[in-house]
Amino acid sequence: MIGDFVDEVNIKVIAGKGGDGAVSFRREKYVEKGGPDGGDGGDGGSIIIKSTLNKNTLVDFKYKKIFRAKNGENGKNKKKAGKTGENVLIEVPVGTCVYDIETNELLSDLKAPEQYLVVARGGKGGRGNARFATSTLQVPKIAEKGVEGESKNLKLVLKIVADVGLIGYPNVGKSTLISRISNAKVEIADYPFTTIVPNLGVVKVDTGYSFVVADIPGLIEGAHLGKGLGDQFLRHIERCSILVHLIDISCFERDDPVEDYIKIRKELESFSHILSKKKEIIVANKIDTIQKDTLEKRLVDFKNRTGKDIFPISAYTGENIKELITMVWNHISKEKIEQQKSFQKRLKSIVTEKIKIQPVSYEPDPYIKINVIKWDNETFEVVGDGVEKLLSRYDIHQKDSRLLILNTLEKNGLNKILRNAGVKEGDTVYIGNFAFEYIP
pLDDT digits (tens, 9 = 90+) for 147-178: 999 999 999 998 877 889 898 888 888 889 99
Residue numbers belonging to the annotated binding site = 168-175, 193-197, 215-218, 285-288, 314-316
307 and 398 belong to one structural domain: no
User: What pLDDT does residue 289 have?
Assistant: 94
31 and 116 belong to one structural domain: yes
- CATH code at position 382: 3.30.300.350
By the 8 A CB rule, do 149 and 43 touch? no
pLDDT digits (tens, 9 = 90+) for 61-109: 988 999 999 999 999 999 999 999 999 999 998 889 999 999 999 999 9
Residue 267 is assigned to a structural domain of this protein? yes
83 and 182 belong to one structural domain: no
Amino acid at 146: G
pLDDT digits (tens, 9 = 90+) for 190-240: 444 444 466 778 888 876 778 888 887 755 554 444 444 444 567 777 888
DSSP state of 149: P
More confident residue, 56 or 230: 56
Quick one: which of 92, 67, 113, 66 has its CA closest to 8? 92
Judged against a pLDDT cut of 80, whether residue 340 lies above it is answered with no
131 and 36 belong to one structural domain: yes
Query: CA–CA separation, 143 vs 146, rounded Å?
Result: 10
195 and 314 belong to one structural domain: yes
181 and 313 belong to one structural domain: yes
Residue 64 is assigned to a structural domain of this protein? yes
170 and 317 belong to one structural domain: yes
Judged against a pLDDT cut of 90, whether residue 40 lies above it is answered with yes
149 and 180 belong to one structural domain: no
Helices (H), 82-171: none
User: What pLDDT does residue 226 have?
Assistant: 46
- CATH code at position 11: 2.70.210.12
Residue 17 is assigned to a structural domain of this protein? yes
15 and 29 belong to one structural domain: yes
Judged against a pLDDT cut of 90, whether residue 350 lies above it is answered with no
Residue 359 is assigned to a structural domain of this protein? no
Residue 60 is assigned to a structural domain of this protein? yes
Residue numbers belonging to the annotated binding site for Mg(2+) = 175, 195
Mean pLDDT score, 369-396: 92
Query: CA–CA separation, 354 vs 186, rounded Å?
Result: 40
Number of domains making up the chain: 3
Domain boundary among 131, 156, 181: 156
Domain boundary among 138, 156, 174: 156
What is the rounded average pLDDT for all residues in the chain? 86
pLDDT digits (tens, 9 = 90+) for 243-296: 999 999 998 888 899 999 998 888 888 877 888 888 999 999 999 999 999 999
User: What pLDDT does residue 225 have?
Assistant: 45
Task: Write the CA distances from 34 to 37, 78, 138, integer angstroms.
Answer: 9, 11, 10
Judged against a pLDDT cut of 90, whether residue 187 lies above it is answered with no
User: What pLDDT does residue 298 have?
Assistant: 95
Residue 138 is assigned to a structural domain of this protein? yes
11 and 122 belong to one structural domain: yes
280 and 390 belong to one structural domain: no
Mean pLDDT score, 121-146: 91
pLDDT digits (tens, 9 = 90+) for 133-144: 888 888 888 999
Domain membership of residue 395 as a residue range: 369-436
Domain boundary among 123, 156, 189: 156
- CATH code at position 307: 3.40.50.300
132 and 64 belong to one structural domain: yes
Quick one: which of 321, 369, 330 has its CA closest to 211? 330
By the 8 A CB rule, do 424 and 374 touch? no
User: What pLDDT does residue 192 have?
Assistant: 45
Residue numbers belonging to the annotated binding site for GTP = 168-175, 193-197, 215-218, 285-288, 314-316
